[in-house]
C-alpha cells in the first residue's frame, strides 16, 4: 500500500495554523443509495486514519465530519451550509450522488472551499465551479462509450427508463447526444425518484420492437425492480446498465433476472490484483466487504489521499489547494494516474464493461472512446 509523503511548509495569511484540519464528507448515508454512502465514507475515513496514524499533516491531526446528503440536492446544500458556517471545514469530500454535488457546489464555490467528488458523473458538474473537482469520468463520455458498444453489437433501436435524478438524466441525455447513424431511442420514459412499480411501463415496452434496454436507475434497488419486472413479463432482450448496476448487491436482490446483464462502469479491483490487492485486503480487514463495490471505496480513499497530500504541500487556503490540483502532473493511485483538466474533470480513469455471470460481476472488455 502506498503512503502519502507530506512536505512541510509555512501556511499563508488567513489560514488556521493550529488545531485539527477539518474535512467534511457529504454522501447518502440513508435511503436506497446508502450502500454507496457506506463504502465511500469508509474509504474516506480509511485515508484519514492512515494519515493520523503517521503523525497527521505537518503535526496536525485530521478530523472527518460526515453528513447525510440522502442523494438529494437540498440535503447536500444543508450539509454544505453547516460545514462552512458552523464546522468551518477546510475542504469537503463529496457529494457522492450527482444531485448532492450540484446542490452543494454553489455554496462551497461562493465560500472558496474545495470540494472533490469521488463518484459524481453528471455532465453539469463540469461547469459547477472553479473550486469543484471530481475523480470520476463524466457521463458525457459514458454516453459515447455506451453508443460505441451498441454500434459494435448492431443495436439500433434502444429502449430506456430513467429515474428523474441528475445522474440518470445526465446518462440519458449523453446517450441521445451520441447516437450513431441509424440509432434511435424508440422508448424513452422518465419516472419519479424511488419508483418501484414499473409494470405498466414494461407492459408497453413488451409491445415495442427494440434491440437493447438501458436500465437507468439511481441505485441497485431501483435497477433490481426494473429488471425483475421486465423479465417477469417475458421480455428477453439484452439489458445494459451503468454505474448503479455495477454492484453485487444487484445480484443479491435479483439474481436470476440480472443474469447476463452488462454494466458499463469503471474497471474492477480485487484483493488478488497486484496493484489494488494490498489496499483491498487492509480495507476488508478493517471494515468488511464493501456493500456496493470496491472501486467506489478506492476512489474515495485515493481522492482523500490526494486532497490531504495537497493540503500538506500548500496549506489549507482554498485558492492554493485549487491551483495545486489544477497543476498536479498526475497522482499515481491504485485506480490509475489522476489529473484534472481546466474544468476540474478527471483525466486517466477508463471505462470497462462487466457482466453478471452466476450472480457475480466479471469484467469482459474495455470500451474505447473513439
Q: What is the pLDDT of residues 26-67, one digit of tens each?
A: 999 999 999 999 999 999 999 999 999 999 999 999 999 999
108 with 193, same domain?
no
Give yes or no: residues 233 and 361 share one domain. yes
Whether 346 is covered by a domain: the verdict is: no
Three cell numbers at 164?
428523474
50, three cell numbers? 492512515
Question: What pLDDT does 9 receive?
Answer: 35
**For the domain that residue 170 is a member of, what is the CATH number?**
3.40.50.2300
56 plus 121 within the same structural domain: yes
Is a pLDDT exceeding 50 seen at residue 191? yes
| 217 and 358 part of one domain | yes
Note the pLDDT of residue 174: 94
Are 127 and 146 members of one domain? no
| Span 346-364, pLDDT tens digits | 988 888 999 999 988 999 9
* Per-residue pLDDT, 369: 55
Kindly tell me if the per-residue pLDDT of 3 is higher than 60.
Answer: no
Question: Is the pLDDT confidence value at 276 over 90?
Answer: no
Asked if residue 161 is part of any domain, the answer here is: yes
Domain assignment of residue 98, yes or no: yes
pLDDT of residue 8: 31
* The predicted structure's pLDDT at residue 270: 77
Residues 82 and 163 in one domain: no
pTM for this model (two decimals): 0.82
Looking at the structure, do residues 179 and 308 belong to the same domain, yes or no? no
- Please tell me the predicted confidence (pLDDT) of residue 91: 98
In a domain, 343, yes or no: no
CB 91 within 8 A of CB 305: no
The answer to whether residue 233 sits within a structural domain is yes
Between 164 and 274, whose confidence is greater? Answer: 164
> Which residue's C-alpha cell is 497530500?
309
130 and 146, same domain (yes or no)? no
Out of 10-19, 149-158, 249-258, 261-270, the most confident range is 149-158
Residue 14 falls inside a structural domain = no
220 within domain boundaries: yes
58-103: per-residue pLDDT in tens?
A: 999 999 999 999 999 999 999 999 999 999 999 999 999 999 999 9
List, for residues 102-137, the tens digit of each pLDDT value: 999 999 999 999 999 999 999 999 999 999 999 999
**Is 260 inside any structural domain?**
yes
Q: Are residues 128 and 147 in the same domain?
A: no
More confident residue, 251 or 23: 23
Q: Are residues 238 and 356 in the same domain?
A: yes
| 14, pLDDT greater than 50 | no
Q: What is the pLDDT of residues 214-269, one digit of tens each?
A: 999 999 999 999 999 999 999 999 999 999 999 888 989 998 999 999 999 988 88
13 or 296, higher pLDDT: 296
HEC profile of the chain: CCCCCCCCCCCCCCCCCCCCEEEEEEECCCCCCHHHHHHHHHHHHHHHHHHHHCCCECCECEEEEEEECCCCHHHHHHHHHHHHHHHCCCEEECCCCHHHHHHHHHHHHHCCCEEEECCCCCHHHHHCCCCEEECCCCHHHHHHHHHHHHHHHCCCEEEEEEECCHHHHHHHHHHHHCCCCCCEEEEEEEECCCCCCCHHHHHHHHCCCCCEEEEECCCHHHHHHHHHHHHHCCCCCCEEECHHHCCHHHHHHCCCCCCCCEEEECCCCCCCCCCCHHHHHHHHHHHCCCCCCHHHHHHHHHHHHHHHHHHHHHCCCHHHHHHHHHHCCCEEECCEEEEECCCCCEECCCCEEEEEECCEEEEEEECCCC
Number of domains in the chain: 2
Q: Both 86 and 149 in a single domain?
A: no
Query: Is the domain of 244 the same as that of 300?
Result: no
5, pLDDT greater than 50: no
Q: Which three cell numbers stand for residue 154?
A: 448492431
d(CA 240, CA 260): 9
Q: Please give the Cα distance from 240 to 217 (Å, whole number).
A: 11
Task: Name the residue range of residue 227's domain.
Answer: 139-265+351-366
Amino acid at each position: 500500500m502506498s503512503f502519502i509523503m507530506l512536505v512541510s511548509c509555512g501556511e499563508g495569511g488567513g489560514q488556521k495554523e493550529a488545531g485539527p484540519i477539518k474535512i467534511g464528507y457529504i454522501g447518502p448515508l440513508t435511503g436506497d443509495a446508502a450502500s454507496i454512502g457506506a463504502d465511500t465514507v469508509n474509504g474516506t475515513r480509511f485515508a484519514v486514519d492512515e494519515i493520523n496514524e503517521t503523525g497527521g499533516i505537518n503535526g496536525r491531526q485530521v478530523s472527518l465530519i460526515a453528513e447525510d446528503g440522502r442523494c438529494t440536492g437540498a440535503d447536500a446544500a444543508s450539509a454544505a451550509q453547516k460545514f462552512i458556517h458552523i464546522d468551518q471545514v477546510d475542504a469537503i469530500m463529496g457529494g457522492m450522488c450527482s444531485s448532492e454535488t450540484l446542490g452543494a457546489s454553489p455554496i462551497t464555490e461562493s465560500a472558496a472551499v474545495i470540494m472533490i467528488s469521488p463518484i459524481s458523473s453528471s455532465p453539469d458538474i463540469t461547469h459547477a465551479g472553479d473550486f469543484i473537482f471530481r475523480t470520476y469520468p463524466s457521463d458525457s463520455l459514458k454516453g459515447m462509450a455506451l453508443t460505441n458498444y451498441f454500434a459494435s453489437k448492431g443495436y439500433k433501436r434502444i429502449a430506456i427508463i430513467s429515474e428523474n435524478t441528475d445522474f440518470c438524466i445526465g446518462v440519458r441525455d449523453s446517450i441521445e447526444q451520441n447516437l450513431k447513424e441509424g440509432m434511435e431511442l424508440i422508448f424513452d420514459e422518465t419516472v419519479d425518484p424511488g419508483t418501484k412499480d414499473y409494470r405498466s411501463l414494461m407492459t408497453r415496452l413488451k409491445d415495442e420492437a427494440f434491440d437493447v434496454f438501458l436500465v437507468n436507475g439511481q441505485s441497485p434497488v431501483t435497477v433490481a425492480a426494473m429488471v425483475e419486472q421486465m423479465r417477469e413479463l417475458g421480455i428477453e432482450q439484452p439489458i445494459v446498465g451503468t454505474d448503479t448496476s455495477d454492484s453485487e448487491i444487484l445480484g443479491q436482490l435479483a439474481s436470476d433476472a440480472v443474469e447476463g446483464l452488462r454494466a458499463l462502469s469503471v474497471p474492477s479491483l480485487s484483493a488478488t490484483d497486484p496493484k489494488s490487492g494490498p489496499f483491498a485486503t487492509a480495507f476488508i480487514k478493517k471494515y468488511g466487504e464493501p456493500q456496493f463495490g470496491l472501486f467506489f471505496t478506492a476512489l474515495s480513499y485515493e481522492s482523500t489521499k490526494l486532497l490531504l497530500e495537497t493540503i500538506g504541500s500548500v496549506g489549507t487556503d482554498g485558492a492554493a489547494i485549487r491551483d495545486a490540483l489544477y497543476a498536479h502532473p498526475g497522482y499515481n493511485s491504485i485506480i490509475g494516474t489522476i489529473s484534472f483538466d481546466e474544468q476540474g474533470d478527471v483525466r486517466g480513469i477508463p471505462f470497462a464493461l462487466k457482466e453478471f455471470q452466476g450472480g457475480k460481476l466479471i469484467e469482459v472488455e474495455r470500451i474505447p472512446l473513439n
